[in-house]
């Protein structure tokens, strides 16, 4: 009998499968389709200090082996997430969830993190530093080691729960950012976020989405995810939540061999709402096929 349990900074999951933030709403929306307690955890929709309407439409475009989105962090704001969304989730999901937090200033991150840290339902905080820093000319926090470290340190100062920094792949050297986060006190790393992409319509001769460019996700980016997880595992030794184009149980095992302790499933949920459940169900048989008895023993096995 194979053992699918994994641990993230003291938090034990029945299996490593976590629907990625932005592809699974606040979780309870999927409870009508299947028992979401089959999942290891759920990464909640990206939450900001204030409510956000998001970017203008159209904001999603399909492309070969993936999609481009520029939703713009549409969410009701941290206070409503706590008062309205988490109680709905608690009725149908009986495990700790992952809070995904975004911000446009360090204070934004601190306020939202401090509030969500107090919630019993939240097992760990995933801090998305791919947002533009409004106080620094719009450059993403996650593209500069000093900015990444500043956010990490500020969030760690107001939280007790594990803090995982979600990194942008749109950088020259991912290890430099990851090491800066580790030195500033990060408990773990989540990667990769979306690559930057764009589509142009031949009919209109204009960009397909209103924001012109957006995040490119889907199976086409999987090799980039494997490479970056491998590099960050070598550079930091921190626990990693790996993601980026995961479609199957085989993909999960590959990312874990690269160094991931758990794996988020993103764009696949938008194509098939049952994608994460199917991966959970296929995992034991796939482990047996390749001779793996315990997932924790294979983390980083490719190094």
Catalytic residues: 131
Q: Phi and psi of 224, rounded to 5°?
A: -65, -40
Please answer whether residues 128 and 163 qualify as being in contact, where contact means their C-beta atoms are separated by less than 8 angstroms: no
Cβ-based burial of 232 (10 A; exposed 0-12, middle 13-18, buried ≥19): buried
HSE (CB half, 13 Å, CA atoms) of 50? 7
Q: Which residues have C-beta within 8 Å of that of residue 89, sequence separation ≥ 6? A: 26, 27, 28, 42, 44, 97, 121
CA atoms of 168 and 153, how far apart (whole Å): 18
Q: Going by C-beta distance under 8 Å and a sequence separation of 6 or more, which residues neighbour residue 213?
A: 68, 70, 196, 197, 198, 207
């Amino acid at each position: 009998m194979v053992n699918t349990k994994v641990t993230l900074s003291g938090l034990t999951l029945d299996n490593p499968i976590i629907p990625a933030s932005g592809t699974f709403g606040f979780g309870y929306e999927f409870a009508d389709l299947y028992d979401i307690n089959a999942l290891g955890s759920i990464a909640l929709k990206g939450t900001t200090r204030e409510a956000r309407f998001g970017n203008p439409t159209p904001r999603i475009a399909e492309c070969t082996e993936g999609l481009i989105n520029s939703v713009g962090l549409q969410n009701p704001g941290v206070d409503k997430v706590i008062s309205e969304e988490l109680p709905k989730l608690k009725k149908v999901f009986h495990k700790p969830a992952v809070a995904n937090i975004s911000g446009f200033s360090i204070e934004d991150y601190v306020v939202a993190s401090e509030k969500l840290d107090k919630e019993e339902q939240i097992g760990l905080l995933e801090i998305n530093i791919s947002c533009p820093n409004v106080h620094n000319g719009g450059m993403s926090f996650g593209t500069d080691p000093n900015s990444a470290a500043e956010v990490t340190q500020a969030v760690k100062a107001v939280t007790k729960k594990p803090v995982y920094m979600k990194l942008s792949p749109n950088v020259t050297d991912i290890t430099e950012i990851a090491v800066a986060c580790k030195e500033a006190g990060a408990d773990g790393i989540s990667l990769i976020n979306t690559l930057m992409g764009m589509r142009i319509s031949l009919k209109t001769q204009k960009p397909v989405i209103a924001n012109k460019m957006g995040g490119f996700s889907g199976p086409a980016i999987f090799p980039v995810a494997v490479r970056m997880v491998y590099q960050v595992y070598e550079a930091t030794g921190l626990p990693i939540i790996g993601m980026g184009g995961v479609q199957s149980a085989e993909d999960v095992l590959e990312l874990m061999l690269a160094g991931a302790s758990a794996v988020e499933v993103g764009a696949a949920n938008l194509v098939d709402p049952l994608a994460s459940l199917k991966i959970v169900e296929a995992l034991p048989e796939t482990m047996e096929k390749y001779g793996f008895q315990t997932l924790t023993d294979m983390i980083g096995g490719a190094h």
